[in-house]
């Protein structure tokens, strides 16, 4: 009994102590990173370098209807949550025949039922898509969405393992893919 009280007191002290120090709770849509090659962040070997890095926030489905409802069709979406998603190319790349210079870009999308537009934009460090300006687009790419066999609870961006750079984004039952060549 005495040990239980000590443990409860310790947990309460730790919880109150963190709050008293001014740290906020964990974000509902935590930030994450995707790399190509996919294993770069965890399995770096020697002088291996990443070719692409994407920084984004991962909202959860939480039982909501996502595309066409929470994320309206036909409107620019920040492609994640919180700040707009950023993609960094560490060397020049080609996407759908369009040359993209090495650098960092905002990554926006316009979801639709049968077609998505993926947008690289030169504006950085904005919250959401509220200040998005089409005039600052670097390139746009059209892709066809696919249905996932299972529900993807948290919005996810990944480059599948392998030698080809295939940018995959998925949430709920929707997946889009955009090949990148170097």
Q: Tell me which of 60 and 13 has the higher pLDDT.
A: 60
12/32 Cα distance (integer angstroms)? 30
pTM: 0.84
Average pLDDT of span 106-122: 98
Average pLDDT of span 80-95: 96
The CA radius of gyration of the chain, in Å to the nearest whole number, is 20
For 121, residues 6+ apart whose C-beta sits below 8 A from its C-beta are 105, 106, 107, 108, 132, 133, 136, 137, 138
Average pLDDT of span 130-152: 96
Q: Are 100 and 61 in contact (CB under 8 A)?
A: no
Confidence of residue 20 (pLDDT cuts 50, 70, 90): low
**Which has the minimum average pLDDT: 14-23, 77-86, 121-130, 169-178?**
14-23
180/96 Cα distance (integer angstroms)? 8
The H or E element that residue 19 is part of is helix 2-20
Q: Is the pLDDT of residue 63 over 60?
A: yes
Residue position matching structure tokens 């770069």: 40
């Amino acid at each position: 009994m005495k040990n239980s009280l000590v443990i409860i007191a310790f947990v309460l002290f730790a919880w109150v102590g963190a709050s008293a120090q001014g740290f906020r709770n964990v974000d509902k849509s935590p930030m994450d990173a995707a790399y190509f090659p996919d294993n770069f962040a965890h399995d770096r070997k020697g002088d291996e370098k990443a070719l692409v890095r994407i920084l984004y926030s991962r909202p959860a489905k939480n039982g909501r209807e996502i595309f066409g409802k929470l994320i309206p069709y036909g409107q620019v979406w920040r492609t994640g949550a919180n700040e707009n998603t950023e993609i960094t190319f560490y060397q020049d790349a080609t996407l759908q025949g369009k040359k993209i210079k090495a650098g960092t870009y905002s990554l926006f999308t316009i979801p639709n039922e049968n077609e998505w537009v993926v947008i690289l934009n030169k504006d950085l460090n904005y919250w959401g898509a509220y200040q998005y300006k089409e005039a600052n687009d670097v390139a746009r790419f059209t892709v066809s969405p696919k249905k996932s066999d299972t529900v993807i609870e948290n919005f996810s961006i990944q480059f599948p393992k392998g030698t080809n750079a295939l940018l995959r984004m998925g949430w709920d039952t929707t997946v889009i893919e955009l090949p990148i060549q170097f």
